[in-house]
Structure formats: structure tokens, C-alpha cells
Structure 1
Amino acid sequence: MEAIIALIISLSFPLLLAVYAFRRRPENNPEFPPGSFGWPILGETIGFLFGKPEKFVHDRMKKYSPEIFKTMILGEKTAVICGPNGHKFLFSNEQKLFTAFRPHATQRLFRSYQPKTPPPQPQPETVRHEEAAMIRQPGFLKPEALARFLGSMDRTARELLRDHFEGKTEVRACPLAKSFTLALSGRFFLGIDNPNRITRLISYFDDVTLGMHSMVLNFPGTAFYRANKAAAAIREELRRVVREKKEAMQSGAAIRDILSHMMTAGMPENEAVDKIMGLVVAGYSTVATTITFLMKYVGERPEIYRRIRAEQMEIAGRKKEGEGLEWEDMQKMKYSWNVICETMRLTPPLQGTFREALTDFTYAGYTIPRGWKVYWTVSSTNNNSKYFEDPEKFDPERYDRGEGSAPYTYVPFGGGPRTCPGKEYARLAILAFLHNVVKKYRWEVIEPKEKVVGDMMPTPQNGLPIRLYHI
């Protein structure tokens, strides 16, 4: 991908330079945030996508302002709002000043169903209620529903650990994390009790995730081209699931998953397929990435492993033979959750998200015009020594000392009305996996300095090889 982008840039550079020199005018309007829109068309997209996200943000915070700067990424003039004050301002003004915005690549990937006549653009309030209804209507992400699904999470973790780890001394942790995450999604969202059916599509889900934040260049070799093909393959499998669901429901099968509820509500097949694919993708990379780096950080720190195992074995010791995890057990995993929080701070599974300005507004003395995009990112606080002492250190105990508890300094799931609705699902899934893996295994990271590739979806280059010790 990088080679192709470099070739495109090199071939078009003279033209871009001429356009840039001819059209560029100094922006003397002091009301706009400081910063640069970069090159015409490309803007600063290359640095945003292929540089380190933290470096992209920190360099511009230092150069322009620690509160806000302007840039142009993915074809959009964008204001990047930084720090806890910026997070508070954005999260507190959802649907007043901002509405959700998905990058153009994401829009293309998840809009295969298009009516012949485009419907009128809904008003922001309508958008908010439609999105909320899609996710919350069946109640699957509410605590009471997740409590009922906890047994399946526990069972899925045991099954996959048995299939991937049993009898082995060296394995790769990253593929297991992806298999676990997709197996859960198959059971939870689709009602599929065959883990292999969805997990065989792992490479397709990887391609879609990477393509969501890419330039819309639809020819072989580009991230978007691969994502488009992968999305088509996923849709085809989901359509087969829909047909099977229809037959099962006609035979009186119980409605226990989100896909079945969508179909019962009369949602068109293509729309249901697109929305269910969006839900699965939304929870895929975040959970899989966190589990992968959790295995890395814990495998490199024996003392932290021992403390996690002691906590988990105390919970397991109260169980009868064959009894699974329950809601009350998850609330007792306080140290384990601290370790997961520290994992997400050092390796965020989600860097940030975009909004669109609904109206002109002022922040930190600068004006952001209607239609500009607004980007918030955890990069402005997660590794900032103002909010986290010795921020490069992996220290789960910092949360017991109150670090990150100041409002809007630690927001791995966003905040405000658009706080990630899958936050509790992710918490339970990761804790269920951790509980089962430490009960039976100890591990060491074989390549501590293994290169991490991809910034929007960080992944150990070789899949995080670990050496297993059966307990």
C-alpha cells in the first residue's frame, strides 16, 4: 500500500505543486484554528494514516496549540480538539453542535444498499434516534442481557483455548484473540453456534477494518480495494445466514439474537446485512487488539501475571465443578480490569472518531465553520505526563492512585451520548478470556521487540508468538 501511494504521489507531484503554488493563499483569518491544510487534495492524510497517530497529534499540538489545530485529512477540513477540556466540550455538545461523521471510505464500505431515489437528509435529532434504536431496541447491550450471555462468553473462551493451546508449547496469541472475538460476535449478533463459520473470515474482517480509514482509491493494491472485496465476501456469508434464519423462524425457532430481531422488525435484507456487519466490525478490532496486547504486556511481567492469577483463582475457588462465570464474579476482577485499562492506555484499540459541525461554533477563541469535521483522539491525553505519571511505564496500580480519574483524561470508550454502547460487552468479553487463560496457562513473549504494524489497527507483525507453560 505504501509503495503504491508513494508512486501515485511521485507521478502527480509536479501537478500538485503547480496547483498548490497557483491556488494557495495565505490564511490570515485569525479566527480559524492554527495549523495547516497541507497539500491540495491529499492534505495531511499520508502523515495521519501512515505515521504514528500519537506523533501526528503531539507534533501539531506542540507546533500550533495544545487545545486545537486545523488540518485536512481524508479529503476533509478538520479541527482536532485536544485534551480533557476538548473532550468535555465535544462530548457535552453532541447533536447540539456536532453530529456523527464517518470517513468516506467507511460510508462506501457500509452502504451497499442504496435506494434508487436517495431519501431526504434526516435531521440530526432523527439520526440520533435511528442510530440509538438500531443498537438499543432489542436490549442486547444492556447489563441484564449481557449477564445472560456471560455463560456463552465463558464457554467460548474455554473452547478456543482448548483448540488453540492444548498440547502446544509455542503459539501465536493474535490469531487466537481474533478467533475468540469473532466467535463471540457470531453467537451474540448472529446466533451462530459454530465458531469456525465466522472465524474463517478473519482476513476479510481485517481488510475491512483497515480500509475504513483509507483513501478511496479503488484499484488493485490499495487498502480500499481489498476492503471492498472483503466486504462483499462477508455480505455473501451473512446473506446465507439470513436465509437460514428465515427458514428457522418459519419453523418456530426462538428469536435470541440481534439479526433475528432486525428481520422480525421487517428490515430489508440488504440493510440488515450491512448493519449487522457494521456491528460485528465495530467490536472486532477493539476487543481483539486489547486481548493481543494484554497477552503481550502480561507475558512480559511475571509479577503482574501472578497478581492477576491470584485474583482469578480466588474467584474460581468459590465455584462448584462445572459452574461458569456470573455477573457478580466480574465485579470482583478489579486488579484484572486495571491491567486491561493500562493496556488500552498504552495501545489504544481506537484512536478517536470524527464528528461534523452542524453550525459555526467557537472553541478556545477560534471559529470552526459549519461543515468542517471535528476529530477527537485519546492521543492528546493517554501519554501525557500532565495526567499520567511516567506515562511510558506499564503500571496498573496508577488507577488505584487516582490517575486517569480526572474527568475526560481517560476516555477509551468515548463519552457523552455517544459513549461506545458496546463498552460493557467488551469489558466482559476480555475479562472472561483473561479468567480462563490464567487458570490453565502461564506464558512468555518470545519476541519482546517484535515490530507493531498498522496504526489504526495495531498488530504484532508476527502474530505475537508466545511460549506456553501448562499449569
Structure 2
Amino acid sequence: MAFSFSFTAFLLLLSSISAAFLLLLRRTRYRRMGLPPGSLGLPLIGETLQLIGAYKTENPEPFIDERVARYGSVFMTHVFGEPTVFSADPETNRFVLQNEGKLFECSYPASICNLLGKHSLLLMKGSLHKRMHSLTMSFANSSIIKDHLMLDIDRLVRFNLDSWSSRVLLMEEAKKITFELTVKQLMSFDPGEWSESLRKEYLLVIEGFFSLPLPLFSTTYRKAIKARRKVAEALTVVVMKRREEEEEGAERKKDMLAALLAAEDGFSDEEIVDFLVALLVAGYETTSTIMTLAVKFLTETPLALAQLKEEHEKIRAMKSDSESLEWSDYKSMPFTQCVVNETLRVANIIGGVFRRAMTDVEIKGYKIPKGWKVFSSFRAVHLDPNHFKDARTFNPWRWQSNSVTTSPSNVFTPFGGGPRLCPGYELARVALSVFLHRLVTGFSWVPAEQDKLLFFPTTRTQKRYPIIVKRRDGRLSAT
């Protein structure tokens, strides 16, 4: 018995010494390679569990903050099965974003790639991506919004708000608005049964983005694949019908689908469907979350809400009840833009982006080996007190300060940057501004119950932010 115990203890001691020796060898080898400081964690799983654990709480910052304090703003780790360099440094982030297609390429989980489709804008590369990115931006720039989309945005916001009951789940209502707006922009469809049934399938698709991409082992992924197939079938019918209409000489519509069909080199139905699938996701999920969190942050900051109401009441006083908002009204919302900026900064709907090194890359005196992933963390920069005073506090007035508005552009990157800058960034800002105008001039509200923020797999509120609303004109809410 004593011999058995001693031998077991000896084996444990030997294993511990061996593990420590191997770890020391690995660290020494990495130092010689010039890699950023950091830890790759446990074999296979690395530090994935620590990362996910942090992002499942209301305060995910410690994962990055603790490592920045220990190693600096650029450090290495091992997450989601791959060695990864994390950057909480704005200059490094800008370098990574600006060298898209030269030194780095986009890299996303297999589940996202499979559900979006190989022809989606997110996965395109090179000249094709440049061409399609430019086309997308041409349908969401200031002149297009001013001349065509402003009226649609205002009309869809009012249409949805008019249907509200006394208790609403704000995140769900915001999703309806942004989805219907995106469908209108892409395919000229008005709200109805078709768009709502398509939206419900999209919910299942998005839920599968961060699931295990194996249908046999993941019910969520299996449902997402099935829903994606239904979405593709519905969009294929739309594309085929539009082709037939144009061949028969029907008047060409002024939407994204018409532009894709008229493209000089031409696109197949499959390519167009993949493209539309990705744009619907991009326009739907992020903007609706920004809308919801703007209301949440304003509700928790009464002085900011009061100043916002004052700004919008001045605009309302100059218009009749039936009159739509115009571009000049949008340009008369300076404090609203401060609220938009601060919501984007604090919420960090896009917390960062993954890229893969296409070759060995030197950054800040460190080497990133070819094939390694890089995560440029926008969230870490936006919440860094070195760049924003009291960075964790929602303070829209900070954007009235010259020190913030004149800070380097790489410090505030809510829409990414470089060749993959979000093409709909201006449209998102306008949609949020119009939504806030109609909300604060038409309603008062209070939270229906306590709700909290969650950050994994995406930023959202746990209970979809339920609120009790009351119409300011005295009309009864819909039931």
C-alpha cells in the first residue's frame, strides 16, 4: 500500500515537473521567435473557457484588462482552437484594418461562413469584394438617404410605433423596424406577412452563428441550416420573378436587387441570394440592438433624455403631425448625434474583428506568424480611460468636447475601418436618429422590469428590454 502510494506520488511529481519543463521550453521558444507576450493556456482549449466565461457576465472587460495589465496592449492567447494575438491598441488595430487583403484576410467561424453563403459580402475577397462593397455603399450614402430612403425610414418607424401596445419588448420591436427597412431597401417590399415570415426564419439563422457547425451534434445549427434553406428558397423566387419582369419590359425599380441584376458582368441567382442573405443580417441585427441600448442608456441618464426631448420638440413644433422628417431635420439634431456616438462607444455592438495573417507580420516590435489569427478589439479601445475619461460611463456630452471630436479616427471605430468599413454606417445613424425622434415626441415610458446586458454570443439584453409605454397625445395604445 505504501509503495503504491509513493509510486503514484512520484508519477504525479514527475508529470508536474515535465509539464512545467515543457511550458518553460515553449515560452523560451516563443520569446526567441519574437512573439507578443502572453499565455496559450491549456492544451487544445487554450483560454477559450475564460474568454466565454467573461463575456457571459455583465462585465466582460477583465479578460482583456487583466492581460493588458500583465503583458501590454498587444498579447497572445489561444481561443476557439487557434493561437490568436489580441490587440487593445488603436494604432495596431488601424494597421490590421488598413492592410486587409495585403497582410491580413478576414476569418470567421465555419458556422457563420456556412450560414451566410460563400458569395456573401463578408466572405468576398480582392477585386470582387471591392466592387461589391462600393455598390453597397452607393445604396446607403448620404445622397441616397436624403433623396430616397429618409421618407421610407420615417414611414416604417411610425408604422411600427403606431401598432404598439402598452407593454412592448423594445428589442423585438426594433428588430421589426430594421428588418422591414432593410427588406425595403434591398427588394422594395413593404411590411406584410411575407417579410414577417422571412424575419422569423432569420432569427433561427442568426442563432446558429456561434453554434457547433455539425448538424448531427447541434440542434441549434441544424435548425439554422433548415431556416437558411427556407430563406434562400424565398429569395430565389423573388430574384427569378424580378428577372422575368425586367425581361418583359417592366419599369426598373431603384433598389439593390435591381442593381445586382443590371450589373455589367452579371451575377447568378445563387450569388445574388447569398449577397442578399448577408446584407439582411447586417442591416437587421446590429442596428436594432443599437436602438434598444440607446433607449436603455437614456432611460438610465435622465438629464440626457431631457436634453434629447428638448431638441426634438423644437423640430416637432415646426412640422404638422402628418408631416414626414426631412434631411434638414436630421441635420438639426446635434445632441442626438452625441447620443448616437456615445451609444456606439459604450455598447460596442461590434466588439472587434478577427483577421488571419497572410504572411509573417511585424507589429510593435513583435512577430505574428503566418496563419495566426489577430483579434482587433474595438471594445477595449472604446472603454480605455486613456482615450475616454470615465470610459465606462454613458456621457453623450463628451462628444461636445473638442478633445474628443478631434481625437484620432482610429480611437473611435464602431463600424470598423479600412476596405471593410461597414457600408451602412450612415444609414444606421439616420435610422437611430429618426427612431429616437418619433419615440421621444410620441411616447413616455418606464422599464417594465429589471434587465441586464449580455455579451455572448452577441450584445443584447437578457429580457429584450420590456418597457411600459404611454402615448403623449392621449390616444389609447393598440391591444
Q: Same fold (TM over 0.5)?
A: yes
Report SS of the residue matched to 2:355.
Answer: strand
Equivalents in 2 of 1:49, 1:402: separation in Å?
37
Flag the 1:224–1:332 CA change in 2: closer, same or farther, 3 A.
same
Does structure 1 conserve the Cα–Cα contact (< 8 Å) formed by 2:151 and 2:325?
yes
In the other structure, the counterpart of 2:10 is none
Superposition pairs of residues 156-195 of structure 1, within 5 angstroms: 156-163=156-163, 165=164, 168-195=165-192
Does structure 2 conserve the Cα–Cα contact (< 8 Å) formed by 1:37 and 1:43?
yes
Q: Which runs of 5+ in 2 are unaligned?
A: 1-15, 473-479
Does structure 2 conserve the Cα–Cα contact (< 8 Å) formed by 1:354 and 1:374?
yes
In the other structure, the counterpart of 1:118 is none
Equivalents in 2 of 1:113, 1:286: separation in Å?
21
Flag the 1:286–1:318 CA change in 2: closer, same or farther, 3 A.
same
Flag the 1:293–1:321 CA change in 2: closer, same or farther, 3 A.
closer
Q: Supply the AA of the counterpart residue of 2:139.
A: F
Equivalents in 2 of 1:236, 1:458: separation in Å?
29
In the other structure, the counterpart of 1:458 is 459
2:78 alignment partner, one of 63, 72, 78: 72
In the other structure, the counterpart of 1:3 is none
Equivalents in 2 of 1:285, 1:336: separation in Å?
21
Per-residue displacement from partner, 1:57-89 (whole Å, max 9, x unpaired)?
2232223222x1112333332211222222232
In the other structure, the counterpart of 2:236 is 239
Shift of the alpha carbon at 1:208?
A: 3.0
Flag the 1:259–1:46 CA change in 2: closer, same or farther, 3 A.
farther
1:423 alignment partner, one of 413, 422, 425: 425
Equivalents in 2 of 1:93, 1:135: separation in Å?
16
In the other structure, the counterpart of 1:391 is 391
Q: Which runs of 5+ in 1 are unaligned?
A: 1-16, 115-123
Report SS of the residue matched to 2:463.
Answer: coil
Superposition pairs of residues 192-207 of structure 1, within 5 angstroms: 192-207=189-204
Structure 2 residue 137 is matched with structure 1 residue 143: no
In the other structure, the counterpart of 1:47 is 50
Flag the 1:47–1:41 CA change in 2: closer, same or farther, 3 A.
same
Does structure 2 conserve the Cα–Cα contact (< 8 Å) formed by 1:354 and 1:376?
yes
Does structure 1 conserve the Cα–Cα contact (< 8 Å) formed by 2:130 and 2:419?
no
Shift of the alpha carbon at 1:35?
A: 1.9
Q: Indicate the structure (1 or 2) with the bigger Cα radius of gyration.
A: 2
Flag the 1:99–1:397 CA change in 2: closer, same or farther, 3 A.
same
1:108 alignment partner, one of 101, 114, 131: 114
In the other structure, the counterpart of 2:128 is 130
Shift of the alpha carbon at 1:428?
A: 1.0
Shift of the alpha carbon at 1:203?
A: 4.3
* TM-score normalised by structure 1 residue count: 0.85
In the other structure, the counterpart of 1:382 is 382
Equivalents in 1 of 2:359, 2:320: separation in Å?
59
Shift of the alpha carbon at 1:219?
A: 3.2
Flag the 1:41–1:241 CA change in 2: closer, same or farther, 3 A.
farther
Structure 2 residue 443 is matched with structure 1 residue 441: yes
Per-residue displacement from partner, 1:372-397 (whole Å, max 9, x unpaired)?
22111122222222122222222110
Equivalents in 2 of 1:190, 1:49: separation in Å?
37
Equivalents in 1 of 2:87, 2:360: separation in Å?
15
Superposition pairs of residues 264-303 of structure 1, within 5 angstroms: 264-265=262-263, 266-303=266-303
Q: Supply the AA of the counterpart residue of 2:178.
A: T
* TM-score normalised by structure 2 residue count: 0.84
Q: Supply the AA of the counterpart residue of 2:233.
A: E
Equivalents in 2 of 1:334, 1:131: separation in Å?
34
Flag the 1:447–1:45 CA change in 2: closer, same or farther, 3 A.
same
Equivalents in 2 of 1:21, 1:258: separation in Å?
58
Equivalents in 1 of 2:194, 2:47: separation in Å?
40
Does structure 1 conserve the Cα–Cα contact (< 8 Å) formed by 2:119 and 2:275?
no
Shift of the alpha carbon at 1:220?
A: 5.0
Q: What is the number of residues matched between the two proteins? A: 438
